[in-house]
Amino acid sequence: MATRFIFVTGGVVSSLGKGIAAAALGALLQARGYKVRLRKLDPYLNVDPGTMSPTQHGEVYVTDDGAETDLDLGHYERFTGVASRQSDNVTTGKIYSTVIAKERRGDYLGATVQVIPHVTDAIKEFIRADLTDEEFCICEIGGTVGDIESLPFLEAIRQLGNELSDERSLFVHVTLLPYIKTAGELKTKPTQHSVKELLSVGIQPEILLCRAERPIPDGERKKIALFCNIKHERVIAALDVDTIYAVPINYHEQGFDEQVLRYFNLPTNKAPDLSRWRNIVDRVRQPEGEVTIAVVGKYTSLLDSYKSLSEALAHGGIANNVRVNLKWMDSQVFEDKNATLQLEGVNGILVPGGFGERGTEGKIRAASYAREKQIPYFGICFGMQMAVIEAARYAGGLTKATSSEFGQSDQAVVGLMTEWIKGNQLEVRKANGDMGGTMRLGTYPCNLLKGSKVREIYGIDHITERHRHRYEVNINFRPQLEKAGLVFCGLSPDGQLPEIVERKDHPWFIGVQFHPELKSKPLDPHPLFRSFIAAAVRQGRLV
Ligand code: GLN
């Protein structure tokens, strides 16, 4: 079966959960036995989100092959288990750089290079590239219909819809039906306008997914069908749910996957097996206990900055049958010594990834507190580096220990990596090089020390995890750091790069240089998160 393309656009407002909608549709088609791939087309000018602050656009999701991508790819992976690739996220910036590079090479043979057809061709090429036996490719278009930025993308999918014909393309539009309290009604007008907007660029959506906080009365559904020129049964209600992992079940109950299959003339007689999703939702809804984890970070003003992290912590909770309450704390507040009072009563402390000096003394203080009070501590990337600096200062005889990310020092226990090995190749970086796409990115292997806690947690000797960092714990300080109680329990295969440290004198104190949260899934919680939450549960029993 040749790949069928499902294009998902959004209207009315942003933050409608288009990414989760696309991901949940992917999970449903998968549960029906189809092979799926999900892609995101982002209409901004950055080549990738790697150079954007997480408080602007949310977390940067890193793929195995080292692409820095939109956080929606994280939803896709968590819902479908299909590892995203470099070829699954494109931006206006990336498309234009390709087109301009081609123009400079003379590849357009004297033509005037224009948005249509050259930019739209490049977008279409991206959508169809790197697919093999996938039966469905779900492409989400970022932004909201009506934005100037998304026009070339809408034009490209319109053209593609024509080229592929209806048999192989489907347009799904996600909208919002706001509830007006005083009138006691769900309003359909914004949806009508948004569909008109799509029609004005030549796209007639075939299925409407209507986000609403309460059930859509049949009269309203008929009205939407009539005014938007859509079959009545293809106006699907997407009601708010208490957990995102209930979305596939809900969509199925509303007939979303059935309508998609009917549209493509595919059989619908056999119901999909959603038992695994039901099991997760039951666990989320009926936990046997709860734990509180303090997340001490810098980007707490936008929770999307830590999307995969909060999901991975929830997965740890699912694995242990407990609810995980997250206490988001701005690390800067801990620069005041008394602020650690706010950590009293938490069952675990997590210091996540981060960049730059602001708030670091607070993170170091949080690591000290966890060490002294024997509270489970999980340091991820920057959180590991901060724990190492803490150890070096406290008992490693390096009172001025720091990271060269904050300036030059002869006690930089964390230093800039200028050379490392990727596969068979040597990667080289300079201190003043480009910022975009130049970190140590993607999957790297790591060997675990026999007898260590992490070896026991993973249950295997060799692991691979995803990275995104420029600095690394300097192995030359190993003797001082070991003296301070750290065990170098995970190392790169050449033994040069410390990937994991743990403390001997503590019930659960682990720092990892990689981002385990990127690989955690509700159906397959990451071992470190599973174990961290289990330790928090034990800690809760002690107090
Ligand atoms: N700023 C640190 C580095 O570049 C940590 C990065 C991170 O936490 N992802 O190494």
Distance 45 CA to ligand 1 centre (A): 24
Residues 302 and 230 in one domain: no
- Cα gap 470→352, rounded to integer Å: 15
- Cα gap 418→246, rounded to integer Å: 45
pLDDT confidence tier of residue 336, bands split at 50, 70 and 90: confident
Residues 69 and 43 in one domain: yes
pLDDT confidence tier of residue 473, bands split at 50, 70 and 90: very high
Q: E-assigned strands of 377-482?
A: 377-380, 402-403, 412-416, 419-422, 425-428, 440-448, 462-469, 471-473
Selecting among 57, 311, 517, 526, the annotated active-site residue is 517
pLDDT digits (tens, 9 = 90+) for 234-289: 999 999 999 999 999 999 999 999 999 999 999 999 899 999 999 999 999 999 99
What number of other Cβ atoms are within 10 A of residue 141's Cβ? 24
Distance 471 CA to ligand 1 centre (A): 6
Ligand 1 atom 1: the closest Cα is on which residue?
355
Question: What percent of the chain shows pLDDT beyond 70?
Answer: 100
pLDDT digits (tens, 9 = 90+) for 304-332: 889 999 999 999 999 999 999 999 998 88
Annotated catalytic, 517?
yes
Choosing from 351, 469, 512 the residue with most ligand 1 atoms within 8 A of its CB, the one to mutate for a pocket test is 469
Name residues contacting ligand 1 (CB within 6 A): 353-355, 381-382, 405, 468-471
Question: What percent of the chain shows pLDDT beyond 90?
Answer: 83
Residues 339 and 237 in one domain: no
Q: Is residue 445 part of a domain?
A: no
Contacts of 371 (CB under 8 A, 6+ apart): 377, 390, 391, 394, 503, 506, 509
Contacts of 25 (CB under 8 A, 6+ apart): 6, 8, 138, 172, 251, 256, 257, 260
pLDDT digits (tens, 9 = 90+) for 103-142: 999 999 999 999 999 999 999 999 999 999 999 999 999 9
Which of 277, 297, 319 is the last residue before a domain boundary? 277
- Cis amide prior to 507 (ω within 30 degrees): no
User: How many angstroms from the chain centroid is the CA of residue 437?
Assistant: 17
The CATH number covering residue 485 comes to 3.40.50.880
Ligand 1 atom 9: the closest Cα is on which residue?
353
Distance 467 CA to ligand 1 centre (A): 9
Ligand 1 atom 8: the closest Cα is on which residue?
353
Which of 277, 297, 330 is the last residue before a domain boundary? 277
Selecting among 381, 469, 472, 499, the annotated active-site residue is 381
**Ligand 1 nearest atom to the CA of residue 414, by list position:** 10
Print the domain residue range for 38: 4-277
Annotated catalytic, 489?
no
Which of 256, 277, 298 is the last residue before a domain boundary? 277
422, pLDDT greater than 90: no
Model's pTM, two decimal places? 0.94
Q: Which residues pair with 490 in a beta bridge?
A: 448, 500
- Cα gap 135→130, rounded to integer Å: 13
Q: Where would I find the H helices in 130-274? A: 151-164, 189-200, 218-228, 247-253, 256-263
Is residue 30 within 8 Å of residue 218, measured between CB atoms?
no
What pLDDT was estimated at residue 420? 83
The amino acid at 26: G
Total of domains in the chain: 2
Is residue 255 within 8 Å of residue 233, measured between CB atoms?
yes
Annotated catalytic, 210?
no
What pLDDT was estimated at residue 47? 92
pLDDT digits (tens, 9 = 90+) for 169-214: 999 999 999 999 998 889 999 999 999 999 999 999 999 999 999 9
pLDDT confidence tier of residue 442, bands split at 50, 70 and 90: very high
Whose tokens are 């949806």? That residue is: 191
Phi, psi of 464 (to 5 degrees): -130, 135
